[in-house]
Chains A and B, each alone.
Chain A
Amino acid sequence: MAYELIGITVLWIFLYGYLIVASIDFGAGFFAYYAKITKKNHLINKLISRYLSPVWEVTNVFFVFFFVGLVGFFPDSAYYFGQTLLVPGSIAIVLIAIRGSFYAFENYGSKQSSVYLFLYGATGLLIPASLSTALTISEGGFIEETSEGVHLLTGALLKSPYSWSVVFLAIVSVLYISSAFLSFYAHRADDRGALDLVRKYALFWSSPTIIASLTTFIAMSQHNQEHFNRMMELWWVFGLSVGFFMIAIFLIYQGKYYGWAFIAVMFQFLTAFFGYGASHLPYLLYPYVTLSEGVVNDAMGLALVIAFIAGLFLLIPSLVLLMRMFLFDADYVKGKK
């Protein structure tokens, strides 16, 4: 059986899940800080904290799942990424650690301070930037393999237009996804003041998102022609993505179906993310690790797949319970519970 395909699909779904839930969280942090300095925090900060409080830990686990799964399904990639990502990886860990713990300190501990809000806002933008490095180096050209081992070419990474376009795309997508979700949440909570504000954010961040996507396409054609060509073969997937983008913006602009609008946003990123992922193959890390050669042995592959299915039977009902309690319980969302 093709464990490599099952494995990469599972991992990619988790990474997509992280992309969505973490973007909501990261962007919310930035908006909370921005609202504070523009003196509009009374409008949205309560809304943000009601959503974030019960789910922040869950967000983190999506990420852990992805990298633990990567080590399990594709041990070779663990070696290459581990060797090269020491610095960006460590920076990401530190940012995640500061964000997570200071969130808990403030939320469960004492009242809000602006230092905390600043950290919370800043880390929300820096984490996606540092994590996106992993995707950037997977395109090849930033790694050198010598007799001493594998090393990252930091200079090349910092000078590459492709690398910066990915960072830019990561940051604006975070703000766009987050504001689209918060519009939906504010609408559900019947909070007009908050809704007006976050809806404006969503409309504002939509155009940079689509511009950054195009820029990344262009930079990709310069950086890794092969991958670009494979992406062009899947042009219809990216076309669908643009279609979902237009639906989302239309619905948010109309100001009615915010739930459907957010679902369109999710599909916009689902199609783009899987289009990117599918065209990335057969390479996991160009040109060192391919899907079929880097995959784990069959026995472990089977064990992981069984574990994964068993785990889903446990997790999906639990997640549904959590969502019913906090996300779709109208009274809770409105702050009555």
Chain B
Amino acid sequence: MFELDNVLLSRLLTSLTLGFHIIFATIGVGVPLMISIAEFMGIKKKDPNYTLLARRWTRGFIILVAVGVVTGTAIGLQLSLLWPSFMQVAGNVISLPLFLETFAFFFEAIFLGAYLYTWDRFKNPIYHWLLSIPVVIGAGMSAFFITTVNAFMNTPQGFEFKDGALVNVEPLVAMFNPATPTKVFHVLSTAHLTSAAILAAITAFYIIRNKNSDYHKKALKLTVGSIFIFALLTAVAGDLSAKFLAHEQPEKLAVAEWHFETEEGADLILFGHLNEENEVENALRLPNALSFLATGDFNGKVVGLDQFPEDEIAPFWVHYMFDLMVLIGFYSLGVSLLYLIVAKIKKWNENNKLLLWLIFLNGPLAMLAIEFGWIYAEVGRQPWILRGYMKVAEGATTSPNVGWMLLLFILLYTVLGIGVITVLRKLFKNNPAESELERHYPDFKTEGEER
């Protein structure tokens, strides 16, 4: 493996860290809101089931956050270690949101610490719930700031290159670049969707295992309802993102859609494969659908790859990443809608095995969609690290030993991955929700009978 060049090794190591970090980052952004909603419902409905839900989610969450924090630190440092030339430019133009992200995270960390250790400290539980608000805001702001940096890499602006020097830098213009609105919307909606999906999957799994108490049923209703709302938002965000790409970064949309010729009334190609002449075979074609997706008009003109030099086009396999991401998004929407319909109709049982399995599957699938989406977002930008200004190959470190570092980090993430799974299993296996409910809220049963 040490014959590989530095650029490829640096890319591999960066993808490894990002691919691992994004799992925890996504949960870190999305789960606080779910916890906050559950705790609030517990207070409003005076129902300890929801409060316990918030408590148990928090307990699992904090472990995942810890891994998110350390891998986030890793990627923060690795950017400078592996892409020093890129970070030299980035430092000059886009360091404002990087800096602000640290503040947002600091803010979140402080209140998360406070939230975690004060469950029974206030007479009025609403004060404890109030501590969750800054955590939710901090998580959202972190996601916002860091996403603007990624948006900047796609549509850089707010500076000029003159004689090899950066001049006329406008930090806010760089931060609020054309890619920012859709990208932030897409990142936030999918993080919430995926977090709800993971929590729903865990709940569904418990019910399949015959843990059919009120606690689990209420948890399922709350999480699947949330999936539906966030899946709808994600669909809107996805649509806006496609329209943004068609307008500002057409080569990225075109490569994902295998759209070679600029034309009006373009077909949408689903899956299939390319033969040696780059012709699409065995694909599902939706007539005029790409034009509609890109422009909102079935006969709209969509720019194809013919408008771009061959060495500025990303690898064609991102097409599959794109299709899988979209497919899973619709799966989430469909499954959650199905559950809500079945739950509405009194005669039907929304907790039947098949539906539960579908909801369970949705959890890992949603996380895969996050991975596919980010692979598409990053590989689809190739060969650029800063579109139009700097290619990935120009940004990489020239120092030796990147290969060894790659091995070191593979080892690290394996250890962390195994650690997380073991600890989470231990944490909940010997401590079922029912017995915890009795321990924390012994009066609840009698209250329930009086009602």
Contact = CB atoms under 8 A, between A and B. Distances in A.
A9 interface: no
B91 A89 contact: no
B110 interface: yes
B42 interface: no
B412 A94 contact: yes
B80 to A, nearest CB: 4
A87 interface: yes
Interface stretch (A199-207, A256-264, A315-323): A315-323
A42 to B, nearest CB: 23
B91 A304 contact: no
Contacts of B398: 83, 148-149, 151
A79 B172 contact: no
A251 to B, nearest CB: 30
A311 to B, nearest CB: 4
Contacts of B85: 79
A233 interface: no
Interface stretch (A105-113, A183-191, A215-223): A105-113
B106 A65 contact: yes
Given A61-B102, A75-B91, A315-B103, A53 B66 contact: no
Interface in B35-89: 59, 62-63, 65-67, 69-74, 76-78, 80-85, 87-89
A83 B399 contact: yes
B327 interface: no
Contacts, number: 227
B106 A296 contact: no
A57 B92 contact: no
B96 A307 contact: yes
Nearest to B71: A97
A316 B372 CA distance: 40
Contact of B80 (A57, A71, A109, A326): A71
B84 A82 contact: yes
Contacts of A314: 103, 107
B171 A89 contact: no
B71 to A, nearest CB: 7
* Chain B interface size range: 35 or more
A94 B389 CA distance: 32
A79 B88 contact: yes
A97 B169 contact: no
A303 B174 CA distance: 12
Given A65-B106, A96-B73, A300 B59 contact: no
The 6 closest A-B CB pairs, nearest first, are A75-B91, A104-B66, A82-B84, A72-B95, A109-B423, A149-B398
Interface of A: 53-55, 57-58, 60-61, 63-65, 67-69, 71-76, 78-87, 89-94, 96-98, 100-105, 108-110, 148-152, 296-297, 299-300, 303-304, 307-308, 311, 314-315, 318-319, 321-322, 325-326, 337
Interface of B: 59, 62-63, 65-67, 69-74, 76-78, 80-85, 87-93, 95-96, 98-103, 105-107, 109-114, 116-118, 121, 134, 166-172, 397-402, 404-405, 408-409, 412, 415-416, 419-420, 423-424, 426-427
21 contacts: A53-B113, A55-B113, A63-B73, A75-B91, A86-B81, A87-B401, A90-B409, A93-B78, A98-B415, A100-B66, A105-B66, A109-B426, A110-B427, A297-B166, A300-B93, A300-B95, A303-B171, A307-B99, A318-B110, A318-B134, A326-B114
